[in-house]
Structure 1
Amino acid sequence: MRHATAATETMENNSFTVTDLYKICAHCERLSKKDLGVRIPRPLGNGPSRFIPEKEILQVSKVDPRAQSIFEDAFAALGRLDNISLVMGFHPQYLESFLRTQHYLLQMDGPLSLHYRHYIGIMAAARHQCSYLVNLHVNDFLQVGGDPKWLNGLDGAPQKLQALGELNKILAHRPWLLTKAHIEHLLKAEEHSWSLAELIHAVVLLTHYHSLASFTFGCGITPEIHSDGGHTFRPLSLSQYCVCDIANGNGNGNDLEERRSSHQVRGRRMVSGEVEVLMERMKQLQECRDEEEASQEEMATRFEREKTESMLVATAEDEECVQSRDVSRHFEDPSYGYKDFSRRGEHVPTFRVQDYSWEDHGYSLVNRLYPDVGQLLDEKFQMAYNLTYNTMAMHKDVDTTMLRRAIWNYIHCMFGIRYDDYDYGEINQLLDRSFKVYIKTMVCSPEKTTKRMYESFWRQFQHSEKVHVNLLLMEARMQAELLYALRAITCYMT
C-alpha cells in the first residue's frame, strides 16, 4: 500500500506531479490478491504509448511547469489524466488549446445534448476501429444518462443519429464526394430533421474524432489500465515490479537494457546525416524560390502531378485490418474506405482554397451557427501549424516553416485541396517515400499504422518532434474534412 498512500498524500498537499497522477490513474500491482482478497489488474503495456518510451513521456512535466499545470487542471476537471493528454504534453501550448476546444465541444452550452455528443464521438471513432476512443466515450455516454440500448448497435439509436451515418462515412474516407444533397437530406427529413446549428455541431464533432483517431493510432496510444484492453489479471512473467516503479525509473534490468540498446541503435543511425540532407534541400529550395518563381500554369501542373502520385502511395503495404465486432457495430458499410477509392482510380476533383477557405468562409460560418467554436478551432489550427522550437533533431536556430507547410499542404493535396500560391514541387524534395507512406496511412487509414512505420521516418528526430508531426497531420486532416462539409452546407444555404 506504500505507493497508493504516498500518491494520496501528495494529492492532499496539492503538490502532485504527472508521475503521481499516473500512479493514481493506474492501479499499483504490488497490491496483491493476498493483501486485498481480490484480483488486481496490471497494465498490459509499458506506458501511454507503444511507440514512445514511457520515461520520456513522464519526464515532460518535470522540465516544463506549464505542462504540469495543465495536467493538474485536466485531472481536477475530469478525475483522470488520459494517455492522449500525456503524449500531447510534449507540446503544452497545443495541449492547452486542444483541451479547451474539446471541453467546449463536449461540456459547454451547445445545440446538441450531452449524450448525443458522446454518441457522435463513438460513431466517428468507430469508423476507424479506434476502440480506445470508442470505449472512452461509451463510458462518458453512460455517465451523462445515455440509453445503454443505443450501444448495442447503430440500429438501436434514434433515427436522427442513424441518418448521420452516411455523412460520417463520407467525411471519414472520401470527403470530396460530399454534396449539398447530403446536407439537404439531413435538414429536410420528414421526421427527425437536423437544424443547421445542430448539424454544424455534429460536423465539428465528427471531424474532431476522425482526426483524433489518426493521432491515437499514429502515436501508438495504449488504453489506460481501467479501460477495456488496458489490463490483464495474469501474473508477471518477469521480476515483480509495478507501473509506479517504471514511472520512477526503477524498471527491471531487461527493460533498462532494451532502452539502452534502443538509444545505441538511434545513435548509429544519426551517422547517416539524414537531417543535414533535409536542411540542405530546404536551403536550396529557398534559394531557387528567391531567384525564380514558377508560372501559374506550371504550379497547377505540379499540383495535379503530386495529387496523382499521392494516390499511388500505398497505405501500410495494404495490410488488411481486422474489424472489431464491438466497435464495428457503431457504423454501417465497413467495406467503405479510402482504400477502395485508390484501387478504383477514381478522380478526385480539385478544391481551390481561393474559392472556399477556412479563413474567409468556414470560420465565419461555424462561428455564426455555433458561437465561439470557430475561434477555438482557428486557434488550434494556428497553434499546430505555427508551433516551432526552431530545432531539427540536434540542430538549433532552424527555420522549419518550409517543412511544416510542405507537410500540411501534402495532406490537403491528398484530399484534392490546392493552394494557388504554393509550389507542390517542393513536396518531393522535402518528404521522402517512407514519410509519405506514414502520412497517408495515418491520415487515410490510421488503424493500419504500425510501430515499424513510426520508426522508419525521420529516424534522427526526437519523439517530441514526431508527436508534433502527428499534431500537424491531425489538424490538417480535420481542416480538410471541415472545408468539404462547410462548403456543402454553404451551397445548400445559397
Structure 2
Amino acid sequence: MGQIGDKTTQALFAETFLQNNRLDHVTQLMGYHPQYLDPFLRTQNYILKGDGPLPFDYRHYIAIMASARHRCTYLVKLQIQEFLRQEGNKEWLNGLHQVPQKLRDLDELNKILAHQPWLFNKSHIEKLTKGKDNWSLSEVIHAIILLAHFHCLSTFVFGCGINPEIDLNEGHTFQHVTVPCNTQAINDCDSTQVDDVGVELLMLKMKTISEQHEESTQEERLMCFQKEQNQSAELISGFDNMSLPKSDVQRYTSDPDFSYQDFARHREASEITTFRIQDYSWEDHGFSLLNRLYNDAGTFLDEKFKIAYDMTYHRMGSKNNVDTSTFRRAIWNYIQCLYGIRHDDYNYKEVNELLEKNLKTNIKTLCCYPERTTKSDYDNVMREFRHSEKVHVNIMMLEARMQAELLYALRAIMRYMT
C-alpha cells in the first residue's frame, strides 16, 4: 500500500505545491495511491494548463460549470480562484447570464453529460459547431474532457467527504455531518447499518467465482445485465422527489431539476438502446479519436483508466495475498451499467454476488447523486476495509464514470464526423 509517508508520494506533494501554491485535500487523499496520483495530476495539469485549443479562463470557467452541476462547492471555490488568477472577467462569476454566448451554449452539454449522457447525440455537436459563436471540434473535445473530469471529480470529493481548504470560506463536507471518526480507526465507528458483507465472506465468493469459470450464453448474459439494471432502478428511488436546499453555485448552471434517471426506465420508455462496449470501446475507438482531435489527451486518460482499473495491493481489510480482480471488475462494470453500458463478455451475476445492496446503493448515490451523500453513507459501507481502500473504490468510481461519459460523447462525435 502506498502510504502518505512514501517518497514517491512526498515528491508528488512537493511538485503539486510548487505548481499550485497549495497542497489541496484531493491530492492529499489520493496520496494513498501514488501510482494513480501521478497520472491523475499530469492529466489534470494538461487539460487545465497545457497546450490546448481553449483559453485558460474558459477552461476554469467550464470547470466551475461542471462542478456546480453537482453543487460541489469545494471544487467551485477552488476553480474560481484559478479563474481569477487567469485574469478571468469577474462579472462572469455573477452567473451564466453574464458570460459570452459561446460559453452559455455549453450549458446543455454540461447538463446532459453530468446526468443522462445517453441522450448526447450528434445534433448537440452540430449546434455548437455551426452558426455564430461556433466552437471548433477540437474546442468541443477539450470542453467535454473538462466537463467530464469535474463531474467525476465531484463524485470523488463527495465520496471522501473532503473538507473545504483552510483558506476558503464555506466549502463542502458530508451532508448532515456527525462527529467525524479518526481516519485511522474508521472501521471502529458505531453504526446502525448491518447490511455489509464481511471481508472473509467476500473473499470466499471471489474464490468461488474464479474457480467456477461458469459458461453462459449471450442471451443469458443479456438477461443478467437487464436484471441488474432493473434492480438498480429500485435503489434510492426516493431521490427522484427529494429536493436539496438552494445553493449559490447554481448560478453557473440552468435547469436544476434535471438529474439522473435510471437507464432501465429510459430503455423501456424510449428508443434509447444499451451501449454495447463491443460496438464502441475506449480501447478500439475512443482513445484514437481523442488523440486525433486533442493531441496526447487520449494517452493521458488511457494511463489513468488502466491504473485505476488494475491497481491492487493484493490486500482486503486485514487479509493479505488476495486476488481482488473479480471485485474490482464488478465495481467498474456496475458503475458503467448504471449508465447503460454493457460489456458483452461479462456475466453480471458476479455483480449481485460480490456487491451487496448497501455497497451498490452507495456507488449509485456517488455516481448519480453525489451531492446527496451523507457521513453515515461512508461509515456504513465496506466497514472492514481500510480508509485507503475506500479511497481506492472512490477512484474507481471517478474513472469508470468518466470513461462512460466520454464513450457517449466520443461516439456522438464520430457519428457527427461520418
Establish whether TM, by shorter chain, passes 0.5.
yes
Alpha-carbon distance, 1:320 to partner? 3.4
Alignment of 1:472 onto 2:389: no
Instruction: Choose from 314, 318, 323 the match for 2:236.
Output: 314
Matches within 5 A, 1:327-342: 327-339=249-261
Identify the residue that residue 302 of structure 1 maps to in structure 2. Answer: 224
Alignment of 1:212 onto 2:136: no
CA displacement 1:186-227 (0-9 Å, x = unmatched): 111x20000010000000000000000000000001111111
Contact 2:221 2:344 in 1 (8 A): yes
Alpha-carbon distance, 1:476 to partner? 0.3
Distance 1:168 1:462 in 2: 34
Instruction: Choose from 99, 104, 108 the match for 1:157.
Output: 99
Q: Which amino acid aligns with 1:222?
A: N
Higher RCO, 1 vs 2 (CA within 8 Å, ≥6 residues apart): 2
- For the aligned residue pairs, the C-alpha RMSD in angstroms reads 2.6
Instruction: Choose from 48, 57, 82 the match for 1:140.
Output: 82
Identify the residue that residue 488 of structure 1 maps to in structure 2. Answer: 412
1:316–1:78 distance in 2 versus 1, CA, 3 Å:
farther
Question: Structure 1: which 5+ runs fail to align?
Answer: 1-58, 232-254
Distance 1:146 1:317 in 2: 36
1:274–1:198 distance in 2 versus 1, CA, 3 Å:
same
Distance 1:135 1:428 in 2: 39
Matches within 5 A, 1:418-433: 418-433=342-357
Alpha-carbon distance, 1:357 to partner? 0.6
Alpha-carbon distance, 1:457 to partner? 1.3
Alpha-carbon distance, 1:319 to partner? 8.0
Instruction: Choose from 377, 382, 392 the match for 1:458.
Output: 382
1:260–1:305 distance in 2 versus 1, CA, 3 Å:
closer
1:305–1:101 distance in 2 versus 1, CA, 3 Å:
same
Secondary structure, aligned partner of 1:116:
helix
Identify the residue that residue 175 of structure 2 maps to in structure 1. Answer: none
Identify the residue that residue 31 of structure 2 maps to in structure 1. Answer: 89
Secondary structure, aligned partner of 1:61:
coil
Distance 1:173 1:490 in 2: 21
Identify the residue that residue 192 of structure 1 maps to in structure 2. Answer: 133
Q: Which has the larger radius of gyration?
A: 1
Instruction: Choose from 145, 162, 170 the match for 1:229.
Output: 170
Matches within 5 A, 1:400-411: 400-411=324-335
CA displacement 1:324-361 (0-9 Å, x = unmatched): 44200000000100158788874662000111111111
1:418–1:261 distance in 2 versus 1, CA, 3 Å:
closer
Alpha-carbon distance, 1:260 to partner? 9.4
Contact 1:111 1:198 in 2 (8 A): yes
Distance 1:207 1:265 in 2: 34
Q: Which amino acid aligns with 1:313?
A: L
Q: Which amino acid aligns with 1:176?
A: W
1:86–1:182 distance in 2 versus 1, CA, 3 Å:
same
Question: Structure 2: which 5+ runs fail to align?
Answer: 173-178
Distance 1:415 1:259 in 2: 32
Q: Which amino acid aligns with 2:154?
A: A
Q: Which amino acid aligns with 1:310?
A: S
Q: Which amino acid aligns with 2:384?
A: Q
Matches within 5 A, 1:33-72: 60-62=3-5, 64-72=6-14
Contact 2:69 2:253 in 1 (8 A): yes
Alpha-carbon distance, 1:493 to partner? 0.3
Identify the residue that residue 307 of structure 2 maps to in structure 1. Answer: 383
Distance 2:186 2:12 in 1: 30
Instruction: Choose from 112, 137, 152 the match for 1:170.
Output: 112
Distance 1:376 1:157 in 2: 30
1:91–1:200 distance in 2 versus 1, CA, 3 Å:
same
Alpha-carbon distance, 1:322 to partner? 2.6
Distance 1:431 1:476 in 2: 16
Contact 2:186 2:386 in 1 (8 A): no
Identify the residue that residue 25 of structure 1 maps to in structure 2. Answer: none
TM norm structure 1: 0.78
Contact 1:316 1:449 in 2 (8 A): no
Contact 1:315 1:440 in 2 (8 A): no
Distance 1:422 1:264 in 2: 35
Q: Which amino acid aligns with 1:106?
A: L
1:353–1:339 distance in 2 versus 1, CA, 3 Å:
closer
How high is the sequence identity, in percent, across the aligned residues?
Answer: 52
Secondary structure, aligned partner of 1:338:
coil
Alpha-carbon distance, 1:308 to partner? 1.7
TM norm structure 2: 0.92
Matches within 5 A, 1:353-372: 353-372=277-296
Alpha-carbon distance, 1:228 to partner? 1.8
Q: Which amino acid aligns with 1:219?
A: C
1:315–1:192 distance in 2 versus 1, CA, 3 Å:
same
Alpha-carbon distance, 1:288 to partner? 2.1
1:455–1:316 distance in 2 versus 1, CA, 3 Å:
farther
Identify the residue that residue 75 of structure 1 maps to in structure 2. Answer: 17
Distance 2:322 2:157 in 1: 28
Distance 1:65 1:316 in 2: 46
Secondary structure, aligned partner of 1:461:
coil
Distance 2:97 2:218 in 1: 50
1:467–1:182 distance in 2 versus 1, CA, 3 Å:
same
Alpha-carbon distance, 1:61 to partner? 3.1
Alignment of 1:118 onto 2:60: yes
Secondary structure, aligned partner of 1:329:
helix
Distance 1:125 1:399 in 2: 35
Alpha-carbon distance, 1:114 to partner? 0.1
1:76–1:112 distance in 2 versus 1, CA, 3 Å:
same
Distance 2:76 2:347 in 1: 39
Distance 1:377 1:464 in 2: 22
Distance 2:261 2:351 in 1: 22
1:61–1:133 distance in 2 versus 1, CA, 3 Å:
same
